[in-house]
Amino acid sequence: MELLRFATAGSVDDGKSTLIGRLLYDTKSILEDQLAAVERTSRARGDEYVNLALLLDGLKAEREQGITIDVAYRYFSTVKRKFIIADTPGHLQYTRNMVTGASTADLALILVDARKGVLEQTRRHAFIASLLRVPHLVLCINKMDLVGFDQAVFDNIREEFRQFSMKLDVQDLSFIPISALGGDNVVSRSDKMPWYEGPTLLHHLENVHIASDRNLIHVRFPVQSVIRPMSAKYHDYRAYAGQVLGGVLRPGDEVMVMPSGFTTRIRDIDLAGKSLTEAFPPMSVNVSLAEELDISRGDMLCRPGNPPTSGQDIDAMVCWLSETTTLQPGARLAIKHTTRMARAKINQLHYRLDVNTLHRDGDSTQLKLNEIGRVTLRTTVPLFFDEYQRNRYTGSFILIDEATNATVGAGMINGPAA
Amino acid sequence: MLVCCPVSYELSHLEALEAESIFIIREVAAELDRPVLLFSGGKDSAVMLHLAVKAFAPAPLPFPLMHVDTGHNFPEVLQYRDTRVAELGARLIVASVQEAIDGGRVAEEKGPRASRNRAQTVPLLEAIEKHQFNAVFGGARRDEEKARAKERVFSFRDEFGQWDPKNQRPELWSLYNARHRRGEHLRVFPLSNWTELDIWQYIDQEKVALPSIYYSHRREVFRRDGMLMAWSPFLQMLPGEEVITAEVRFRTVGDMTCTACVESSATTVEQVVNEIRASRVTERGASRADDKFSETAMEDRKREGYF
């Protein structure tokens, strides 16, 4: 059984919570005591029907204010796959949360109200999904029951979105007409939309091909730590612990160590005493090498002919996450990239990107909370990176405020700075 | 025609979850000098410990274990705890609720529904401070409870051990921020993305040993609030409650006063997995009296510094 992570975006008005509630309910992932709690709350609030959306409100402040303020994670599974939903609130001020949820998602699910069509919010969510390189995008046109299950409404929205998405870098795009309230085309096929020949949402989630989304070509193995047992029994054991972020590693393969540039061969790959014939993303393994080299945390193993870029001057898109500070040229911050910590100085803010219009504002002097811009920065030590579009895990970094230790920025690398 | 299948490079969901958890545990050990792993002897902490051992093997576990001991333990669980600790040659720290009560630092709840569950927070925070731990591994899962659904993997705690749900650090990709000041610490939850069923499937796959009370056995129990509570000297009976003997197993294991059992004839992991697949009630709904006080009981405890 495979694992699929997907992020949902949309507001309560789009029926997002109802859709998630429907997915969980129809796959029998909501259990009796949870449903009883929701029924109690629904009754106390005087709701007309059991409000499945209440299942998703976690915190006291959210229930009091009737809003969602944070990313919530939900779990369900079918016989085919286990699903992790990163449920992100849809309002403008929560771009930060959608970026967070999308960063690990295999698929982004965006909801559109069939009566309202493609809104500014829809474009913003689609843009963020494409910026974060979520490999699969699904536009669920919801509330089809309120437009008489009319094919023309669906076709118009699909066409409008298709036009817009040509400006984005979307790799795989699907459109599904649904009614979350009635369950049409969510888990079971609707008999009210015979004109729709595609899969139901759940069928799509169960079958969309995700295995090839990982980078299996460029070997990237950042070293997390060195494992040396210091015991008589394992006197000679010395291995590098880490998670494979790209490519396939096999014993006997020639590897190059960054930053030293030394090359050697993989002697063994193991985990907990069990030797493995190969390792690929996202496996966590121990790699031991034929020769003793000076390798420590933050170094990276790659193939000699195919190394990542090593550099200190980096061109990147940054989403600012801090409520209390802004990103300005000259700022000094801590940076975490793979297993490497360094300091970074923001040299230039090229432009701020309007996430609604995609307009580039070259006159901006700072990035505020939820704003996205293109920067160049310089790091104290070289980072071993790829373009984000080539590898989401060697192409991303976070920025940390050294005074408060808060995570204040999320970065996606375009490449070395010119 | 012979069709050869391409190499798929697919991981099962358990392999993917294991890889993520091991990565998290290794990040903590690499970036923080004083971690500790909370080990209650319950199934989640047993799986977490199993993953931690795998993360560093063949080297020994690079951090100690801690048990927050309410004094109301199932003897089978204490025995299991001590056996595992001895097998691993690990160091065990016991933070005692009884000592905190005796020292007047915690007030004991009174009455037939009294529980020491909430009282665990004080000795936990005291032990963290005494040993200067800056990372505390907990076995909590996001599927357990709605406040937990919103908690980070690396969850920051201020110098009072408090969780501020509205002021959490964004967590992107697999880039965890472990930075903190002296006196502050991180709670780290490597099992965040696991569900109860995942835990049991993994226990089956990896042959993880568990305390015997997770499997069906005969026990003296009584009914309270729709749950089956284990009879013990720690729990006062209410008028009308009577002790019966039943075939039961535990879905969660905590303080004897607030952990209920379910009727079950499952004696093997496979049978337990089948029961959970068919179950229509969550494990906390079936067996935790402590979450029934209010809609926000867990959030309130967590804010104070609870696991």
Q: State pLDDT tens for residues A271-326.
A: 999 999 999 999 999 999 999 999 999 999 999 999 999 999 999 999 999 999 99
End-to-end CA separation in angstroms for chain A: 45
Is the backbone peptide bond immediately before A251 cis, with ω within 30 degrees of 0? no
Is the model's pLDDT at B254 over the cut of 90? no
Q: Say whether B172 and A396 touch across the interface (CB within 8 A).
A: yes
Task: Between A26 and A348, name the one with better pLDDT.
Answer: A348
Q: A203 or A79: which carries more pLDDT confidence?
A: A203
Residues of chain A with CATH 3.40.50.300: 2-213
Mean pLDDT of B186-196: 96
Q: What is the pLDDT of residue B109?
A: 85
- Residue range(s) of every CATH 2.40.30.10 domain in chain A: 221-302, 309-416
Asked if A230 lies within 8 A of B59 by C-beta distance, the reply is yes
* CB atoms near residue A365 (< 10 Å): 9
Cα separations in angstroms, A279 against A126, A242, B234: 33, 11, 51
Cα–Cα distance for residue pair A336/B136, rounded to 1 Å: 22
**Confidence band of A59 (pLDDT split at 50, 70, 90):** low
Q: CA B191: distance to chain centroid?
A: 10
> Does the beta carbon of A268 lie under 8 angstroms from any beta carbon of chain B?
no
Residues A337-362: tens digit of each pLDDT: 999 999 999 999 999 999 888 899 99
What does the pLDDT look like over B228-244, one tens digit per residue? 898 888 888 888 899 99
Q: Cβ of A100 under 8 Å from any chain B Cβ? A: yes
Q: What is the pLDDT of residue B5?
A: 45
Residue-level pLDDT at B291: 59
More confident residue, A171 or A53: A171
- Range A146-174 average pLDDT: 95
The whole-angstrom distance between residue B73's C-alpha and the CA centroid of its chain comes to 14
When mean pLDDT is compared across A104-118, A370-384, B94-108, the lowest value belongs to B94-108
The verdict on A404 touching B (C-beta cutoff 8 Å) is no
Q: Which residues does chain B have within 8 Å of residue A57's beta carbon, measured at their own beta carbons?
A: 146
CB A259 within 8 A of CB A222: no
Element housing A310 (H / E): strand A309-320
Q: Do B58 and A32 touch (CB under 8 A)?
A: no
CA distance A100 to A87: 10
Q: Domain A309-416 is of which CATH architecture? A: Beta Barrel (2.40)
B112 vs A328 pLDDT, higher one: A328
pLDDT at B116: 83
Report which of residues A273 and B8 the model is more confident about. Answer: A273
User: Is A337 in Cβ contact with B170 (below 8 Å)?
Assistant: no
Would you call A284 and B23 a contact, using CB atoms and an 8 Å cutoff?
yes
Closest residue by Cα to residue B243 from B260, B261, B221, B217: B221
Give B292 to chain A, closest Cα distance, Å. 10
Alpha helices per DSSP H over A241-395: none
Provide the total of helices (H) and of strands (E) in chain A, helices listed first: 7, 21
> What would the mean pLDDT of B147-173 be, rounded to a whole number?
90
User: What are the residues facing A314 on neighbouring strands?
Assistant: A377, A416
The answer for residues whose C-beta is within 8 angstroms of residue B5's C-beta and 6 or more apart is none
Q: Residue A93 pLDDT > 70, yes or no?
A: no
Residue B252 has pLDDT above 90, yes or no: no
Which residues lie below 8 Å from residue A176, measured CB to CB, with a gap of 6+? A138, A139, A140, A141, A185, A196, A198, A199, A200, A201, A204
- For residue A409, what are the CA distances in angstroms to A27, A389, B132? 37, 18, 30
Please give the pLDDT value at position A272: 94
Chain B residue with minimum CA distance to A81:
B13
Q: CATH class for domain A221-302?
A: mainly beta
* Mean pLDDT across A57-66: 63
Per-residue pLDDT tens over the stretch A209-265: 998 888 999 999 999 999 999 888 898 899 999 999 999 999 999 999 999 999 999
Chain A CB contacts of B88 below 8 Å: none
pLDDT over 70 (residue A53) = no
Average pLDDT, stretch A354-383?
Answer: 94
DSSP β-ladder status, A340-353 and A332-337:
antiparallel
Residue of A nearest to B286 (CA): A33
Backbone angles phi, psi at B98, to 5 degrees: -60, -45
Cα dist from B198 to A28, B16, B165, whole Å: 16, 11, 26
B13-197+297-304: CATH architecture: 3-Layer(aba) Sandwich (3.40)
In 10 A of CB B9, how many CB atoms? 14
With CB atoms and an 8 Å threshold, state whether A58 touches B59.
Answer: no
Cis peptide preceding B58, ω within 30 of 0: yes
Rounded CA separation A355/A338 (Å): 27
Round to whole Å and give the CA distance between B58 and B292.
Answer: 43
Above 90 in pLDDT, residue A11? no
Residue in B170, B177, B281 nearest the CB of A96: B170
Helix or strand or coil: residue B101? helix
A33–B282 C-beta distance less than 8 A: yes
Burial class (CB in 10 A: 0-12, 13-18, 19+), A41: middle
Residues of A in contact with B295 (CB under 8 A): 37, 41, 63
Determine contact, residues A264/A257, Cβ cutoff 8 Å. yes
Percent of residues, chain B, with pLDDT higher than 70 = 94
Residue A316 neighbours by CB under 8 Å, 6+ apart: A374, A375, A376, A377, A388, A397, A411, A412, A413, A414
CA–CA gap between residue A20 and residue A17 (Å, rounded): 5
> What is the mean predicted confidence (pLDDT) over A172-184?
95
Chain B residues whose beta carbon lies within 8 Å of the beta carbon of residue A287: none
Q: Which of A49-63, A67-81, A105-119, A175-189 has the lowest mean pLDDT?
A: A49-63
* Contact residues, B window 107-136, toward A, CB-based 8 Å cutoff: none
Structure tokens at B168: 């959490």
**Closest residue of A to B169, CA-based?**
A407
Any CB–CB contact under 8 A between B90 and chain A?
Answer: no
Check A282 against B12: CB less than 8 A apart: no
Q: Average pLDDT of A186-210?
A: 96
Q: Do A248 and B9 touch (CB under 8 A)?
A: yes
Tokens matching residue A196: 């729709």
Q: Per residue in A382-413, pLDDT tens? A: 999 999 999 999 999 999 999 999 999 999 99
Strand (E) or helix (H) holding B248: strand B244-250
Is B182 touching A (CB cutoff 8 A)? no
Q: Say whether pLDDT at A130 is over 90.
A: yes
Closest CA to A319 of A368, A387, A364, A378: A368
CA distance B183 to chain A (A): 14
Number of H helices, E strands in chain B: 9, 10
Q: Determine whether the interchain pair A73/B296 forms a contact, defined as Cβ–Cβ distance below 8 Å.
A: no
CATH topology of domain A2-213: Rossmann fold (3.40.50)
Q: What share of chain B is helix, strand, coil (3-state, %, to 5)?
A: 35, 15, 45
Chain B residues with CB-CB distance to A225 below 8 A:
26, 29-30
Lowest mean pLDDT among A20-34, B100-114, B213-227, B293-307: B293-307
Domain locations in chain B? 13-197+297-304, 210-291
Higher confidence at residue A120 or residue A281? Answer: A281
Answer yes or no: do B142 and A297 touch at CB < 8 A. Answer: no
- pLDDT of B2 reads 45
pLDDT at A212: 82
Distance, in angstroms, between B76 CA and closest chain A CA?
Answer: 28
Nearest to A59 among B16, B19, B147 (CB): B147
Question: In A304-364, where does DSSP find H-type helix?
Answer: none
Contact criterion met (CB < 8 Å) for A397 and B29: no
Q: Are B95 and B126 in contact (CB under 8 A)?
A: yes
Contact by Cβ (8 Å): A401, A322: yes
Q: What is the mean pLDDT of residues A95-123?
A: 92
* Strand-pair category, A407-416 with A396-400: antiparallel
Question: How far is Cα of residue A115 from the mean position of the Cα atoms in its chain?
Answer: 29
The set of residues, in sequence order, having a beta carbon less than 8 Å from that of B78 and lying 6+ positions away, is B41
Hey, are the CB atoms on B58 and A73 less than 8 Å from each other? no
* Position A380, amino acid: T
Q: Is B87 on the interface with A (CB under 8 A)?
A: no
Radius of gyration of chain A from its Cα atoms, rounded to whole angstroms? 24
- Residue that the structure tokens 């002697």 belong to: A267
Note whether B277 contacts A: Cβ–Cβ < 8 A: no
Inter-chain CB proximity A103 and B168 less than 8 Å:
no
Q: Could you give the CA distance from residue A245 to residue B140 in angstroms, rounded to a whole number?
A: 27
Q: Among all residues of chain B, which has the CA nearest to that of A234? A: B58
- A243 to chain B: closest CA residue: B23
Contact A392 B142 (CB under 8 A): no
Q: Helices A95-103 and A120-131, interaxial angle, to 10°?
A: 40
| pLDDT band of B3, cuts 50, 70, 90 | very low
CA–CA dist A396, A328 (Å, integer): 20
CB contact (8 A) between residue B166 and residue A61: yes
User: Are A73 and B180 within 8 A, CB to CB?
Assistant: no
Indicate if the pLDDT at residue B1 is higher than 50. Answer: no
| Average pLDDT, rounded, for chain A | 91
